[in-house]
């Protein structure tokens, strides 16, 4: 028997997987500037830690920033350092290097899924890896300078390690579980071990296998968990006595139990968000869940008796627990439920593999619905730039062309799936639509997103007035611009709104039509208009020295 590494089909699959993941996860990392408040803030924290050669205390503007653990910061620091070594003239700190950790973590997660499935569910490893890699939630957060993908990847690898141990009883798999739970603790805090405990306990309860909980409590594994996670927590607490209060009480317990950080959403918020994150496999996920519920109703206790059924049960619990948990939280952001996306993708993989083994065809309604969904995804990617610019869908020539292209792909995909070979074409046709959508977003929408949503263009205009660093102040500007400019200019800004009016000459970034309002704060100092950036609703002024 040929080994997986010498099997020509396995080699081809690995090459295709590397090519697809290279495109889906790494293409366009720098296609647009850092977005929102979190991306530039996290990227700047990593830069400050690197500049100080401090691997313990995250800082922002030189002050401790204790909201998140350091795993993303450490990864970004390594990316910055590596880029500086390769391209010292460019400084190494760019959007690509800031987002590189998320792409690498997603790639490691995909690799873990591939090799796990090849070991326990041979024949479905290529499908499982590609389906996971092509989910909108995975692609999106692989392109983000944030902590969500580091948590999702380490959490997924940990749970795969636990289930591998459950099936094989190999202690090395249980060691992987504890090591990656420790890394998850360093990615986003106690949420990783907390969710893992709930998932394992619910699975054991569903299987009536209570001894598996006791066997999971393996002393060497627990030691590994603390060896990975505890040193940083001890070191940062010793250096920053306020760490426990800020991180545990304010940014974990208070964030969950109250709306202190102003991210309120209804309880059902994550249902549409999750279906969007699993696109273009949302319909297949719903079909898989309906099938499992139907089996449970008809077969009762025997519904999850076989190994494949046990695997499906574990995936269901893994998928549901994060969604339900964060639905109960008073603070909701889309990235919170990314750890559930790999489970959904694997559940789709298991469902499609079972249908393939049964020789089942794709029904006409499902084929048409999936084709329409893929077409809708392509349409959305083609008009994303226009919607970003106008905040609504405009009926123009470009919109009609995009609709025609999307309709053509929807028809072709639906027709292909209806054919006898439809199940075998499902993966290929879906991947084509995903690749086209990603290419359209990066090539067509990214420039508009950059011009309207990122602080990069504003920083470039500021730097065009002076190659030397000049003080920058803000007035009536949101925190997205604040953190973005601090990253791109690599220096703190002053806030007129907080009474911080620099006495020296400085450049003022302000909302339009505010000259009369901020002039009152300057007590007669000379103000010179420099430029406007309409896409960002920003005006620039030069304020003379007192």
User: Which segment of 183-192, 217-226, 457-466 scores lowest on mean pLDDT?
Assistant: 457-466
Last residue within a domain, chosen from 453, 486, 516:
453
Asked whether residue 242 falls in the same domain as residue 96, the answer is yes
Residue 2 has pLDDT above 50, yes or no: no
Structure tokens at 516: 């009369």
Compute the distance between CA of residue 101 and CA of residue 73 in angstroms, rounded to an integer. 9
Q: Is residue 326 part of a domain?
A: no
Q: Is residue 164 part of a domain?
A: yes
Asked whether residue 63 falls in the same domain as residue 127, the answer is yes
- Answer whether 294's CB lies under 8 Å from 355's CB: no
At residue 268, the pLDDT reads 79
Kindly report, residue by residue over 482-533, the tens digit of the pLDDT. Answer: 999 999 999 999 999 888 888 889 999 999 989 888 888 888 889 999 999 9
- Answer whether 69's CB lies under 8 Å from 232's CB: yes
Asked whether residue 460 falls in the same domain as residue 446, the answer is no
Q: Is residue 486 part of a domain?
A: yes
Asked whether residue 163 falls in the same domain as residue 263, the answer is yes
At residue 126, the pLDDT reads 93
pLDDT-based confidence at residue 302 (cuts at 50, 70, 90): low
The count of structural domains within the chain is 3
Last residue within a domain, chosen from 214, 243, 269:
269
Instruction: Point out which residues pair with 60 in neighbouring strands.
Output: 63
Total residues found in the chain within this entry? 546
Q: Is residue 214 part of a domain?
A: yes
Cα separations in angstroms, 338 against 141, 148, 319, 359: 8, 7, 10, 32
At residue 317, the pLDDT reads 95
Asked whether residue 113 falls in the same domain as residue 254, the answer is yes
What domain range is 386 assigned to? 364-453
Asked whether residue 207 falls in the same domain as residue 247, the answer is yes
Residue 241 has pLDDT above 50, yes or no: yes
Compute the distance between CA of residue 302 and CA of residue 154 in angstroms, rounded to an integer. 32
Asked whether residue 440 falls in the same domain as residue 532, the answer is no
Rg over alpha carbons for the chain, rounded to the nearest Å, is 25
Q: Is residue 348 part of a domain?
A: no
Residue 332 has pLDDT above 80, yes or no: no
Torsion angle, alpha carbons of 316, 318, 319, 321, to 10: 110
Asked whether residue 424 falls in the same domain as residue 499, the answer is no
Task: Specify the higher pLDDT residue, 342 or 525.
Answer: 342
Last residue within a domain, chosen from 453, 471, 500:
453
Please give the biggest Cα pair distance in the chain. Answer: 86
Q: Is residue 177 part of a domain?
A: yes
Asked whether residue 445 falls in the same domain as residue 474, the answer is no
Average pLDDT value over all residues in the chain: 89
Torsion angle, alpha carbons of 358, 359, 365, 368, to 10: 130
- Answer whether 150's CB lies under 8 Å from 72's CB: yes
Asked whether residue 111 falls in the same domain as residue 175, the answer is yes
Q: Give this prediction's pTM.
A: 0.92
Q: Is residue 213 part of a domain?
A: yes
Q: Phi first, then psi: what are they for 530, rounded to 5°?
A: -110, -55
Q: Is residue 347 part of a domain?
A: no
pLDDT-based confidence at residue 309 (cuts at 50, 70, 90): confident
pLDDT-based confidence at residue 1 (cuts at 50, 70, 90): very low
Cα separations in angstroms, 156 against 124, 207, 367, 508: 18, 21, 30, 46
Percent of the chain whose pLDDT exceeds 70: 94
Asked whether residue 82 falls in the same domain as residue 211, the answer is yes
Residue 308 has pLDDT above 80, yes or no: no
Percent of the chain whose pLDDT exceeds 90: 64
Compute the distance between CA of residue 528 and CA of residue 541 in angstroms, rounded to an integer. 5
Asked whether residue 56 falls in the same domain as residue 201, the answer is yes
């Amino acid at each position: 028997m040929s080994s997986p590494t010498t099997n020509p089909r396995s080699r081809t699959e690995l090459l295709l997987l590397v090519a697809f993941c290279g495109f889906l996860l790494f293409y366009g990392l720098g296609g647009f500037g850092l977005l929102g408040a979190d991306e530039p803030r996290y990227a700047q924290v990593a830069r400050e830690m690197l500049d100080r050669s401090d691997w313990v205390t995250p800082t922002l503007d030189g002050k401790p920033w204790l909201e998140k653990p350091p795993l993303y910061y450490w990864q970004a620091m390594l990316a910055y350092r590596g880029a500086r070594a390769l391209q010292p003239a460019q400084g190494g700190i760019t959007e690509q290097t800031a987002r590189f950790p998320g792409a690498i973590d997603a790639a490691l997660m995909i690799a873990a899924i591939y090799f796990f499935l090849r070991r326990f569910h041979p024949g479905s490893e290529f499908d499982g890896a590609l389906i996971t890699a092509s989910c909108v939630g995975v692609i999106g957060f692989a392109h983000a300078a944030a902590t969500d993908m580091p948590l999702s990847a380490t959490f997924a690898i940990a749970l795969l390690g636990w289930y591998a141990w459950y099936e094989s009883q190999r202690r090395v798999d249980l060691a992987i579980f504890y090591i990656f739970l420790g890394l998850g603790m360093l990615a986003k805090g106690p949420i990783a071990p907390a969710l893992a405990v709930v998932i394992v306990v619910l699975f054991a309860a569903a299987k009536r296998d209570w001894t598996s909980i006791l066997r999971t409590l393996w002393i060497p594994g627990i030691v590994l968990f603390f060896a990975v996670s505890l040193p940083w927590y001890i070191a940062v607490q010793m250096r920053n006595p306020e760490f426990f209060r800020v991180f545990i009480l304010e940014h974990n317990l208070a964030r969950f139990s109250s709306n202190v950080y102003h991210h309120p959403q209804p309880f059902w918020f994550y249902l549409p968000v999750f279906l969007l994150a699993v696109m273009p496999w949302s319909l297949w996920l719903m079909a898989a869940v309906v099938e499992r519920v139907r089996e449970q109703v008809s077969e009762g206790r025997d519904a999850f008796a076989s190994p494949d059924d046990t695997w499906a049960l574990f995936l269901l619990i893994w998928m549901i627990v994060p969604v339900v948990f964060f639905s109960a939280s008073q603070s909701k952001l889309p990235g919170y439920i990314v750890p559930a996306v790999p489970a959904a993708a694997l559940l789709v993989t298991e469902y499609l593999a079972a249908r393939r083994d049964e020789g089942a065809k794709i029904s006409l309604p499902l084929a048409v619905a999936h084709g329409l969904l893929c077409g809708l995804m392509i349409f959305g990617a083609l008009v994303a730039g226009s919607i970003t610019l106008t905040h609504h869908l405009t009926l123009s020539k470009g919109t009609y062309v995009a609709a025609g292209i999307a309709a053509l792909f929807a028809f072709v995909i639906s027709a292909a799936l209806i054919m006898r070979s439809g199940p075998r074409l499902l993966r290929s046709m879906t991947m084509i639509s995903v690749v086209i959508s990603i290419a359209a977003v990066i090539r067509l929408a990214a420039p508009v997103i950059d011009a309207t949503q990122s602080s990069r263009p504003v920083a470039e205009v500021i730097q065009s007035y002076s190659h030397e660093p000049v003080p920058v102040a803000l007035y009536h500007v949101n925190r997205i611009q604040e953190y973005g400019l601090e990253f791109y200019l690599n220096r703190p800004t002053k806030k007129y709104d907080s009474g911080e009016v620099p006495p020296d000459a400085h450049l003022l970034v302000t909302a339009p039509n505010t000259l009369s309002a901020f002039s009152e704060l300057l007590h007669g100092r000379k103000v010179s208009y420099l430029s406007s950036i309409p896409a960002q609703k920003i005006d620039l002024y030069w304020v003379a020295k007192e």
